[in-house]
A and B are shown apart, each in its own frame.
Chain A
Amino acid sequence: MASESLPRPGGRGDGEGHGDGRHVLAPGHTFATVTDKISALVLTRPFNWRWFAGFSASIALVMLLSMTVVNLLTFGPGVWGLDSPVMWAWDITNFVWWIGIGHAGTLISAILLLLKQEWRTSINRFAEAMTLFAVACAGLFPLLHMGRPWFFYWLTPYPNTMAMWPQWRSPLVWDVFAVSTYGTVSLLFWYVGLIPDLATLRDRAQNKLARIIYAVLALGWRGSAIHWHRYRTAYLLLAGLATPLVVSVHTVVSLDFSGGIEPGWHSTIFPPYFVAGAIYSGFAMVMTLAIPLRKAFELQDMITMKHLDNMAKVMLTTGLLVTYGYGMEAFFSYYSANTYEGFLQHNRMTGPYWHTYYLLILCNCITIQFLWLPAVRRNVYMLFAISIVVNIGMWLERYVIIVTSLHRDFVPAAWGMFRATFWDYGMYWGSIGLFFFLLFIFIRVLPVISIAEMRELVHETAGRNGGHGHGHVAGPEGASSSVTTGA
């Protein structure tokens, strides 16, 4: 097994190691070790029972998703627990939750790239993949929650004999653009970043079919200086393009609510607070994925405690922003002296859904206070637990915003309750299954960590990490060519 033959400069990395949290790459790595380690995951595919178990479980959930979707399309959205007045519930909750999760990828890739945060390097690839898969899962919901999903294209401006365009004032139309733009740019960004690695895989693959596929995907990458030059430019440009999207997507999603006049929705605080929440949940999800991943594939050298520590700090920051948001929401509901807002907040805290509100506060505001402690930030078990709690909390946040706002709004005689059905659960767990299904495939067919960027990192950190790398100055071009010839 290739990974076992590799030098283990960092010692036995079982997660708790590298406790100093200073390194973004364990000392002792060279261009070759990095390349071997990462590409081996794809090319030699050592049997990994953890991967196999996870993949099986996710396929089972994808089956559940298929069953739910067939049932949904056969009978209509009434198979869910939606009712009047709660006409959106888990569908849109899940949508916003997934979109939020999708945020971390672009943030890590684009903004941290522009800010020259080198620690992003080993997590950006799978964070981006996570983004794409999360956006895919998110996209399912607005599509399938429609009464007549086969007319989804009416939400896009296309020439038609009815001479009808979408109704531009509706935030849902903006959603279509925001999410599809985000999905497209994320895909491009991810793909462009993959090109040098695809070339590496092409060169190292033993299997002919794999070689052909990677060759096609690598778009003729030869690692020439001009390739690198154009690649770097394109990558930076895409990063520049993606950056505003980090803010815009969730802002637009938040306008689905603040554009409405419902108490609990109609609020100017939503855009910033949704963006913070999105980053919060996104980082929580990256953490949720990274911790088992580095363990299962022994990537502790590359996804180090420094990464986890930094991500925990981002979570703490955004978590505090979100807490501030909740505080302001509650404060203004009283301070505005608006009857409806006041009642809404009161009902959130004492009405039939009170438990969801307090659970939300517990998950999103109280739990993360532990992250102030460096010891917690360097304890993978604690971090994993907290990240799961935050994921739950962020789901609850959207549930509270949607369901508790809708279920008792203006006219008391129209009040109602929402109760989820089996098919609500089916759709939710099914989408989680789809997400992991895609992620597990990704792990086996594409490098989960950017080889090219890791090699850069080897070079850049050479001095700091004790100079165990190549002794001579080698740019990324050199690295690439050396690998190419070496294969």
Chain B
Amino acid sequence: MRKTSGPDFSALRAGLDGQTGPRFWRSLEELAETDEFTHYLHREFPEAASEWADPTGRRNFLRLMGASLALAGVGVTAPGCDVYNDPPEKILPYVRQPENIVLGKALHYATAVSLGGVGTGVVAETHEGRPTMLEGNPKHPDSLGAIDALTQASLLGLYDPDRSQVVAKARAISTYDSFLGATLGVMDAQRAKKGAGLRLLTPSITSPTLARQIRALLAEFPDAKWHQYEPAAPHAARAGLKLAFGRDVSVRHRVRNANVILALDADFLANGVGRLADARGYGIRRDPGPDKNGMNRLYAVEPTLTVTGSSADHRLPLKAADVLPFALTLARKLGVSGLPEPPASTAVAAQARFIEALAKDLQAHKGKSLVLVGANQPPYVHALGAAINHALGNDGPDGTVEYAEPIEAEPVDHFASLADLCKAMAAGKVDVLFVLGGNPAYTAPADVAFAESVKKVPFKVHLGLYEDETAALCDWHVAEAHELEAWGDVRGRDGTVTIQQPLIAPLYGGVSAIELISGVLGHPGREGYETVRETWRDKTPKGQDFETFWRTSIHDGVVAGTAAAVVKVEPKADLGPVPAVETGEGFELVFRPDPTVWDGRYTNNGWLQELPKPVTKLTWDNAAFMSLATAERLGAVDGDVFEVAYKGRKVEAPVMVLPGHAEGSITVHFGYGRSRTGRVGSGTGFNAFALWTSDAPGFGPGASVRKTGATVRLASTQEHRNVDWNLPGNTAKERGIVRVATQAEYREHPDFAHHGEHGHEPKKGDTLYNADFPPPTPGSEPDYQWGMVINLSACTGCEACVLACQAENNIPVVGKAQVLNSREMHWLEIDRYYEGDPANPSVHHQPRLCMHCEKAPCEVVCPVAATAHDHEGLNVMIYNRCVGTRYCSNNCPYKVRHFNFLQFADLRTPSLALVNNPDVTVRTRGVMEKCTYCTQRISQARYAAEIKGGRIADGDLVTACQSACPTRAIVFGDIADESTAVAKLKADERNYGMLAELNTRPRTSYLAKLRNPNPEIETQTEPTHHGV
């Protein structure tokens, strides 16, 4: 396919069979005096290779490698060809253009990006052979066209200059062939022992190909063992469902069908498997519908204020340990039989009224309600959740939940699996260990001595994207090919397989796990492509030609009919004894994967480091999150460093106040405090894994904290240290920036969003400046008039749009020091406002981007006309005219303009230049920038439409943020055409413009937020529409 043929390893190897040891290299050279092999060696050992340790030399090396491989990706096979420097050799341009390549025109390929082994289908946009943007694949059941921030940011990981770029033996540069040579030697020795000393450690695997290969390996080495360890995966859900059903099953939610949802410490809208699909189902049901009664109702019970909790109609902050008694009390109330008395909990007892009302609400929506349990909760709560869903009939046909065969190749208890491995290693029973991805040396629980015991293994190999903590412990480190560089396959939540296509040849010459196992199995030259095809050749549906099946599958990004089979199961009547709720003095410590850097795999990803974490808006750090009252009791303010002691281990962590956090509970996130990572991730945060134990993976009691007296500055993108915690929220409400009502109030006052507006929005004719915009153009076809509506009811504040915008528009990463100085460049920001009681505030999320005002205040003050209006209503920014007076930003009431105070865009790192979208200017220092409504996409759509001779149809053109949005809260289009979706929303009575009374006539407007609280709980309606 698009990958160039590398050296023919099988040919090279043909002459090598049976040869091992020191003669290997010499023989190889002698045997393979082909040009191709010379090229390969040249690529592996450019002259600069010895300069590796020197950053300047390395940069040159990267430039050579990056550029030549990028070209290789589009089929040019001019080795060493360097687009940056003229090569010394004679080179030739294309004589015939490669098929499918039109310079300047993007191509799109469907593939998938995985997190914790579960894939999200994406469509990658490539320009001249380099992927520049990922968007959701509408055909993929876990994406439905949307994409989350983590998946999007994996694109930057592809180009990360700090990625591992070599095969290293004892941290010295070696070659893949030397590695294979050495491996074949030890494997031969293992073959004699039936693999008794051979161990495989992988993360969660759903890939059919990889599973097939591992099984083949295990067949060849019957005494070998396969261990799996994935730190942040729904382990408790697997165990809980097994407890409930007596067998391994996977679970799928149909959130769309649910009228009432209860999330028990479940951040299902932003985290975990199936998050995008669940968020879509939720978002669809935040619409009141024509009868103004169609909204779902979301209850959240959780210790940490999450995206889900912040979106909930009712949120109950409870310590994580109290969720079990809460769920048990509720289950008994709902009539789930055979349940024991719940353990005593004063916090739960105090919520009798809440539980009563909740139970009634759930009862009233039998079959159309849904109870979700978060990965942090112990298996028993998951089993309870399944029992409640069953009791409510939610698992019936057309219900909200269904169970299917597990999607993992081998569902196991990962903690036990890792512990077994460590025990064997410590006992010296392991001779050969392959760590295929993952970073267990960093992510292993503190009570599992992985790092110590792995040292006893004589031959250990690490395959990974980075030379990380685990690589440092292993004898061999092999650079892994990124998912976007290699062939593979991966399952989604429902089991649907996506065959992953490489979008570019491996930038740094890595290999995939599939290729590595092929090598270990004695097929060192076999491409991942061959192996994946082999898997699917057998699975071609009957009556279908394999090539057609293959092409259709990779084109669509999903393999039809691969969803896991639904199983009909019923929960056991007896779930066994309630696990003892551990109690202890001190604080409860809650562990979560970080919302942006996850388990540390994205620590070196600048996009994710700088992405404000949902709700907390923290960047570049993790923190010990606690409630306002707890912080006041400890005398802590944001940034005060505390020593957190837990089960005899200690870390130092800065405190950050999170209103709505459960009292007496502290949340810490994984993924920071890495000891070996790249330039971006070094020195960020503290390591929460150092406190984490496998016996209490979600949370545990007994943490103590002590003030150290040190402080760090936490880079939050919303000012909080100098502001009363609720002043911004109250001010936003009072000014009508955020407008909120309940569904019931909306029924009574459909125009609530316009009650009591401050000084009415001036009507045409009210002011001197009332010229029509745009000026009508008689005779000609009407211009498009672009506009956007953002539905605040659907927005969950997940920040996916922010990252999509960043990827699409080449928005630079500025670093923590600049974020501390409020200079982050995100064109689209999600504002978070707290309102009400700090112990349990209402949270409002509001995406804020350029409003494209028809009467734009920025335009009149620019002295050089660098920002101006076009005839389609876009407020356009002309970078090369901008002299940087910044007056436009000062005069922008929405503060959506971002200034390049310094040279923020990285113009020096060659590999990072590749990620840039060539349709968008890379800005230099001294110029202003802001949202353009993705003007480059508008142009592309216009070309496409004009070639066809028509107009741009509604839906043919989506902005990057709109495309990413999991809940479809952002709608963009031509507002002059009344038939478009955006024009219909503009006509909705809930539509309002932010600060429209300033006569800015914003083109971006909002649909006022609707909540759907339970009247039995929220007796007193809040004074929503200001001034009514």
Contact = CB atoms under 8 A, between A and B. Distances in A.
Interface string A153-164: 011000000001
Interface stretch (B50-58, B202-210, B321-329, B884-892): B884-892
A261 B891 contact: yes
A146 B865 contact: no
Interface stretch (B384-392, B672-680, B728-736, B956-964): B728-736
A415 B731 CA distance: 11
Given A77-B884, A147-B926, A409-B893, A83 B822 contact: yes
Interface stretch (A34-42, A84-92, A108-116, A430-438): A84-92
Contacts of A167: 859-860, 862-865
Contact of A166 (B719, B848, B863): B863
Contacts of A340: 735
A412 B732 contact: yes
Interface in A72-95: 75-79, 81-85, 87-88
A414 B729 contact: no
B881 interface: yes
Interface in B828-849: 829, 831-833, 846, 848
B769 to A, nearest CB: 11
Contact of A76 (B732, B821, B902): B902
A138 interface: no
A413 interface: yes
A209 interface: no
Given A148-B882, A413-B848, A87 B893 contact: no
A82 B894 CA distance: 18
> By CB atoms of chain A within 10 A, which of B732, B863, B881 has the most?
B863
Contacts of A155: 863-864, 883
B857 A261 contact: yes
A84 B899 contact: yes
Interface string A3-31: 00000000000000000000000000000
A412 B818 CA distance: 20
Contacts of A166: 863-865
Given A76-B903, A410-B893, A415 B719 contact: yes
Contacts of A413: 718, 728, 732, 829, 831-833, 846, 848
A339 B169 CA distance: 68
Interface stretch (A53-61, A168-176, A181-189, A304-312): A168-176
B884 A146 contact: yes
A262 interface: yes
A261 B865 contact: no
A414 B861 contact: no
A149 B894 CA distance: 26
Interface string A120-134: 000000000000000
B167 to A, nearest CB: 40
A173 B831 contact: no
Nearest to A167: B865
B887 to A, nearest CB: 6
Interface string A231-272: 000000000000000000000000010011110000000000
B865 A164 contact: yes
A320 B727 CA distance: 35
Interface string B691-728: 00000000000000000000000000011001100011
A52 interface: no
Contacts of B729: 412
Contacts of A339: 734-735, 758
Chain B interface bracket (under 10, 10 to 19, 20 to 34, 35 or more) = 35 or more
Contacts of B242: none
B604 interface: no
A226 interface: no
Nearest to B718: A413
Interface residues of A, number: 52
A411 B894 contact: yes
Interface of B, secondary structure class, is: loop
Interface string B994-1022: 11001000000000000000000000000
A85 to B, nearest CB: 5
A169 B903 CA distance: 30
A79 B902 CA distance: 8
B823 interface: yes
Nearest to A152: B883
Contacts of A148: 882-884, 926-927
Interface string B608-624: 00000000000000000
A44 to B, nearest CB: 48
Contact of B737 (A85, A260, A411, A419): A411
A416 interface: yes
A414 B895 contact: yes
A449 to B, nearest CB: 40
B883 A409 contact: no
Interface string B727-754: 1110110110100000000000000000
A44 B693 CA distance: 87
B851 to A, nearest CB: 11
B539 interface: no
Nearest to B729: A412
B925 interface: yes
A410 B998 CA distance: 10
Contacts of A47: none
B727 A82 contact: no
A154 B864 contact: yes
Given A75-B902, A78-B902, A82-B901, A262 B823 contact: no
A83 B833 contact: no
B926 A76 contact: yes
A328 to B, nearest CB: 21
Interface string B815-829: 000100111000001
A147 B728 contact: no
Given A145-B885, A146-B884, A170-B863, A261 B893 contact: yes
Given A167-B864, A170-B860, A170-B861, A147 B887 contact: no
Contacts of B862: 167, 170
A415 B734 CA distance: 16
A8 B714 CA distance: 68
Contacts of A76: 900-903, 925-926
A340 B995 CA distance: 11
Contacts of A146: 883-885, 926
B898 interface: yes
B890 A412 contact: no
Contacts of A217: none
B891 A173 contact: no
A83 B823 contact: yes
Nearest to A171: B861
A330 interface: no
B889 A415 contact: no
Nearest to B824: A84
Contact of B722 (A85, A147, A259, A352): A352
B881 A164 contact: yes
Contacts of B891: 260-262
Nearest to A175: B863
A326 interface: no
A417 interface: yes
Contact of A147 (B723, B731, B863, B927): B927
Contacts of B734: 339
Given A76-B901, A82-B901, A167-B863, A411 B857 contact: no
Given A83-B823, A413-B732, A88 B886 contact: yes
28 contacts: A75-B902, A75-B903, A76-B900, A76-B926, A78-B902, A83-B822, A84-B895, A84-B897, A84-B898, A147-B885, A147-B900, A147-B928, A154-B864, A154-B883, A155-B864, A164-B881, A169-B861, A170-B862, A259-B861, A339-B758, A352-B722, A410-B893, A411-B831, A411-B894, A413-B728, A413-B846, A415-B723, A417-B822
Given A142-B885, A260-B890, A416-B822, 6 more contacts: A78-B902, A82-B899, A147-B901, A147-B927, A260-B857, A261-B893
| 10 residue pairs, one from A and one from B, having the closest CB atoms | A147-B884, A147-B926, A78-B901, A413-B831, A412-B728, A78-B902, A414-B895, A87-B886, A172-B863, A167-B865
